[in-house]
Amino acid sequence: MKKPRAPIYLLLACLLLTGLLGFTSLNPTAQAASGDASALAAPSPGRGVSRPQPKPTAQLRFSGADATISPAVLSPGAPMTYTMHLLNENGPAGDMTARNATLEIPWNGNQNFVDFSTDNTSWKLASHDETGVIVDLGDVKVGDSGGITIHATFATNYDKPIFRQTIYLNWNDDNYARRAGTNLTASVNLPEAAPVTVPTIPITPPATVPETGAFAPIANRASTDALWYFPATKHTLGGQFLNYWLEHGSVTNLGYPISEEFQDNGRTIQYFERVVMECWPENPDPYKVLLRALGDELNGVDPAIPLGTPPATDGSVFYTETGHWLDGRFVDTWESMGGLAQFGFPITEPVMEGDKLVQWTERARFELDLSRPNQLVMLGLVGDEAAKSKGLLN
């Protein structure tokens, strides 16, 4: 007599059901399809999601702020000194040597080399001529470091009140040939121009220039180490605002001052072409000078885009704090010029305004002219716009 088969069918059905349930519990896509949106993990707060991932490279750099020019105010033909400290630190690449490394200082004007010294016996002066100086660093292994001092004379044919010079580190490693630059900035005391005879015709000041108050122009004066004068905007810059300006990109990032320091709701502030600086003496270092959130003030924060919305370009970075992609064409500039501390999070998606790609962050507006090839990313004049929106400038 055959045994009943119903229990076997029941057992097979139970096993099949158990397998299906197990597959569903282990499959986040299946969970999401069933309504559990939390199964698809969002990026962790404070971190961007970038694609594609770049390959690692050797971490040869100027250590901290150890790339300086002295004195802070240069005079035509007078002695000047470059002081630098270089380091190949252990980074994401691990033990990666910067091979065939060089330090390059291209002259800006008719500067002249005087002498060279270093505390690293492996580093040698390779060349110096009317175009600049090159120092041979050889193969710089992880942990290798050293200081370099170069004495020179300042140019006699430099005709701008602010001296800007880019110095470069060049090397190659397992993945790249690299060229990394840093900008050095100093003030220049230009010789006074010969007096010009002006016809005695009454001149009405333009309506756009206030005659009194913090935005009124200051009479021409010589710059000192502590107080710089900018003929371009006829305003001065000193103290901790000058220090912040020098350490955070100077003219490129922040623009020239367009006001003197003044009090606003009990706080010392100063307007620049691209930012507004505020003094917060009660804060610990390095947060005693903060930038006003002009992006929020002038544009506002756009609603966050739906999670999972693809970016406009490869290399874009998504920030969950505001729910926006930072366009890949702006990422390198955002990172190299100060990143989150300087610009804040993106608060809009990138949009086209005519031929210009535009994107707002909390403290800045990034702009890129796409009508012409090989254009640099520019920062909008939001400090100037903020002053005009409040009637401080016409």
Residue 194 pLDDT class (50, 70, 90 cuts): very low
Which helix (DSSP H) or strand (DSSP E) does residue 185 occupy?
A: strand 177-188
In terms of residue numbers, what domain contains 102?
A: 59-188
pLDDT confidence of residue 236: 94
Residues 170 and 80 in one domain: yes
Please indicate, yes or no, whether residues 261 and 364 belong to a single structural domain of this protein.
no
> Which of 245, 264, 292 finishes a domain?
292
Average pLDDT over residues 134-144: 92
Domains identified in the chain, total number: 3
Note the pLDDT of residue 96: 85
Q: Which of 246, 263, 292 is the last residue of a domain?
A: 292
Establish if 253 belongs to a structural domain.
yes
Q: Using one digit for the tens of pLDDT, what is the confidence trace for 367-383?
A: 999 998 888 889 999 99
286-294 average pLDDT score: 91
Residue 249 shares a structural domain with residue 160: no
> What dihedral do alpha carbons 369, 319, 297, 246 form, nearest 10°?
-70
Distances (CA, A) of 133 to 108, 123, 151, 338, 347: 11, 13, 11, 28, 43
- Whether residue 24 lies inside any domain: the answer is no
pTM to 2 decimal places: 0.57
Q: Are 59 and 90 in contact (CB under 8 A)?
A: yes
- Within a domain: 341: yes
Alpha helices in the chain (DSSP H): 6-26, 28-33, 239-247, 250-254, 294-298, 328-336, 339-343, 382-389
- Say yes or no: 168 and 252 in one domain: no
Give per-residue pLDDT as tens, 86-103.
988 876 555 789 899 999
Whether 154 and 273 map to the same domain: the answer is: no
pLDDT tens digits along 102-123: 999 999 889 999 899 999 999 9
Residues 270 and 319 in one domain: no
- Categorize the per-residue pLDDT at 66 as very low, low, confident or very high, splitting at 50, 70 and 90: confident
Domain final position from 243, 267, 292: 292
Quick check: is 155 in a domain?
Answer: yes
- Confidence class for position 292, pLDDT limits 50, 70, 90: very high
**Residue 156 and residue 106 share a domain:** yes
In a domain, 376, yes or no: yes
Please check whether residues 310 and 288 belong to one and the same domain.
no
Is 15 contained in some domain? no
CA dihedral (287, 383, 243, 212) in degrees, to 10, reads -120
Note the pLDDT of residue 26: 39
User: What is the 8-class DSSP label of residue 37?
Assistant: G
Query: Is the same domain home to 308 and 372?
Result: yes
In one-letter notation, the amino acid at residue 152 is: A
- 290 pLDDT band, cuts 50/70/90, is very high
Q: How confident is the model at residue 298 (pLDDT cuts 50, 70, 90)?
A: very high
* Average confidence (pLDDT) over 238-258: 90
Q: 69 and 180: one domain?
A: yes
CATH number at residue 95: 2.60.40.1530
- Same structural domain, 258 and 325: no
Looking at the domain assignment, is residue 199 inside a domain?
no
pLDDT at 191 over 60: yes
Q: Does the pLDDT value for residue 67 go beyond 60?
A: yes
Same domain, 74 and 103: yes
For the chain, percent of residues with pLDDT exceeding 90: 44
Q: Is residue 198 predicted with pLDDT exceeding 80?
A: no
